[in-house]
Amino acid sequence: MTETVDPTVNPARGHRAGRLPGRQDWSSWPHYQAAAAGFRGYWYPVCFSSQVGEKPRPVTLLGERLFVIRDQGTVYGMRDRCPHRGVPLSHGDKQFPGTISCVYHGWTFDLETGVLKAAITDGPNSPICGKVTQPTYDVEERLGLVWVYVGDGERPHPIDEQLPEELVANRAVVGQRIQARAGNWRFACENGYDEGHAKYLHRTALWRLFKPMPVWNTTGIVRKGRWIYRVQREQFWEADFPGLGRWSGTAWYKARPPKTVQNIGNTASHRRVNPTIAAQDFPGFASVGMPGVLRIVYPTFIHYEFYVPVDADNHLYVGMLADFSTGLRALPFYAKYLGAVRWLFHGQFSGQDKWMVEVTDAPPEKLYRPDDSLLRWRKLAEDTTEERLERLRTRKAGNTD
C-alpha cells in the first residue's frame, strides 16, 4: 500500500502551503489598506524648484497625471489631459502669458483658473470658450522644492502646517536628493520607520563602517503632536543566542559604544547637540508623520525622507539633510554634504533601503516584537485619515443645510 502524501502540507513547517502564517491582509487598517496610491489631502514634493521653468513638466502623483509650469515666477499645476481628445497638455506650450495651449488643436487654458480661454483653430469667437474648465492643482514652493496638493476638492491647509515644524520656524541649509524608485510608498515608509532593520541591514554600509550598531534594543513608541517617535529604552551591543553563540554589532575598528542610551543620533555621538535641534525636545531620534515623512535626528543635523506616492507601484524618494547652523558656519555642511554625505548616506546607505523596498512583498506578513513601530505608524495613518474624512463629512453636511 502506498502512503498518500498531501503535497500542500510541508511537514517541516506544519502548515499548509498557500496559507502563510500571520496577517493575510491589512483590513485592520481599512484606510491604510486602501491608500496603495497614497493619502489624499496632503502636499507632496514633486521636484526641485529649479526644474520647473516656462515649459510644462509632467508629474504623476497619487496615480494622477498633471503638469507643473512656471509663469512670471509662479508655479501652476493642471491636469495633464486635454479634455478635447485626451492628448497630454504637457506636450503643448505657452502661446500667451498665463496660459497653456494644447499641441493638437490649440485649446488654450488659463493656468490659474483652468478656464478655456481660446480654441485657436476655431477662431476668436469660438463658442466653446468659457464652457470648459480644466482641473487645476494648488502648488507651493518651499525648501527648494515644488509641492502639489492632492485633495478631494476642499481648500488645502497651509503647507506650513504640514512641514516639519523645525523647518518652518528656523532657517536651515538643506541638501537634497530626489530619486524615482520602484515599490509601493508604504513599503518605503515602513522601511524607514521599522525598528529592526537598520541595526542589521545597514551594519555593512560604509556610512556605518566605523560606528557600532546595537544588536537589539527595547523601544517605546511615543506620540507627540503629529508625529510618533521611537524612544530607545535599552541598547544591547552584544548578545548570546541560545544554542547558537555570541553575536555582536561592535568590532575593533568601530568606535566604542556609549554607556548610556542616546536618543539623539541612533548610535550616539559625543558631539554637542546643535541648540536649535536641542530646543525641539524630540522624544526620540526617529519619528514618522503623515503622509509618509521620516525624520532622523542627529546631533548636528536632521535627515528627512519624504515617500511620495507616484502610483501603487512606484514612489519618489526625497531625501533631505538640514543643518541649522547659520552664516559661515553653514559652509562646511555644503562641503561635507557634496563631498561625502550625499554619496554615502543618500546614496549607498539609502540604496540598501531601496533594494529592500523593491523586494518587500506584504501582506501576508508575520510581524515580530520590533514591528510595534509599524503597527503604531499604521494606526497613526488610520486615525488621522478618519479624522480628516470626518471633517470633510461635517463640512459637506454644513454646506447642504
Residues that bind Fe ion (CB under 5 A): 353
Closest distance to Fe ion from the beta carbon of 376 (Å): 18
Report angle CA 398, 289, 222 to the nearest 5 degrees.
110
Contact 202, 259 (CB under 8 A): no
Which CB atom, from 134 or from 385, has the smaller least distance to ligand FES?
134
Which CB atom, from 33 or from 348, has the smaller least distance to Fe ion?
348
Contact 152, 54 (CB under 8 A): no
Which CB atom, from 102 or from 290, has the smaller least distance to ligand FES?
102
Which CB atom, from 88 or from 196, has the smaller least distance to Fe ion?
196
Which CA distances in Å does 3 have to 7, 9, 12, 14, 17?
Answer: 12, 14, 18, 18, 20
Quickly count: other Cβ atoms within 10 Å of residue 301's Cβ.
23
Binders of ligand FES among residues 248 to 267 (CB under 6 A) are none
Residue at grid coordinates 543635523 = 301
Query: Strand 107-110 to strand 99-101: parallel, antiparallel, or no bridges (unpaired)?
Result: antiparallel
> Which triple of cell numbers denotes residue 196?
529592526
Q: Could you give the count of Cα atoms lying within 13 Å of 189 in the half-sphere of its Cβ?
A: 28
Partner whose footprint covers residue 85, from ligand FES, Fe ion, none (CB < 5 to 8 Å by kind): ligand FES
Q: How far apart are CA 197 and CA 183, in angstroms?
A: 18
Q: How far apart are CA 361 and CA 212, in angstroms?
A: 30
Site string for ligand FES, 312-351 (x = CB under 6 A): ----------------------------------------
Closest distance to ligand FES from the beta carbon of 103 (Å): 7
Q: How far apart are CA 36 and CA 313, in angstroms?
A: 8
Closest distance to ligand FES from the beta carbon of 70 (Å): 21
Closest distance to ligand FES from the beta carbon of 107 (Å): 4
Q: How far apart are CA 357 and CA 305, in angstroms?
A: 14
Q: In what order do the strands lie in the sheet with 116-119?
A: 99-101, 107-110, 116-119
Which CB atom, from 99 or from 373, has the smaller least distance to ligand FES?
99
Query: 186 — phi, psi (to 5°)?
Result: -70, -35
Partner whose footprint covers residue 205, from ligand FES, Fe ion, none (CB < 5 to 8 Å by kind): none
Site string for ligand FES, 347-386 (x = CB under 6 A): ----------------------------------------
Query: Would you count residue 84 as binding ligand FES (CB under 6 A)?
Result: yes
Q: How far apart are CA 97 and CA 79, in angstroms?
A: 19
Closest distance to ligand FES from the beta carbon of 72 (Å): 24
Partner whose footprint covers residue 353, from Fe ion, ligand FES, none (CB < 5 to 8 Å by kind): Fe ion
Stretch that binds ligand FES, among 77-85, 169-177, 209-217, 323-331 (CB under 6 A): 77-85
Binders of ligand FES among residues 102 to 131 (CB under 6 A) are 102, 104-105, 107
Which CB atom, from 104 or from 236, has the smaller least distance to ligand FES?
104
Partner whose footprint covers residue 102, from Fe ion, ligand FES, none (CB < 5 to 8 Å by kind): ligand FES
Partner whose footprint covers residue 87, from Fe ion, ligand FES, none (CB < 5 to 8 Å by kind): ligand FES
Query: 399 — phi, psi (to 5°)?
Result: -70, -30
The b-or-e profile of 105-136 (16+ CB within 10 A means b, else e) is eebbbbbeebbbbbbeeeeeebeebeeeebeb
Closest distance to ligand FES from the beta carbon of 89 (Å): 7
Q: Which of 15, 16, 55, 85 binds ligand FES (CB under 6 A)?
A: 85
Number of residues lying near ligand FES (CB under 6 A)? 8
Stretch that binds ligand FES, among 83-91, 219-227, 233-241, 341-349 (CB under 6 A): 83-91
Partner whose footprint covers residue 236, from Fe ion, ligand FES, none (CB < 5 to 8 Å by kind): none
Q: How far apart are CA 279 and CA 215, in angstroms?
A: 30
> Can you give the binding site for ligand FES, defined by CB under 6 A?
82, 84-85, 87, 102, 104-105, 107
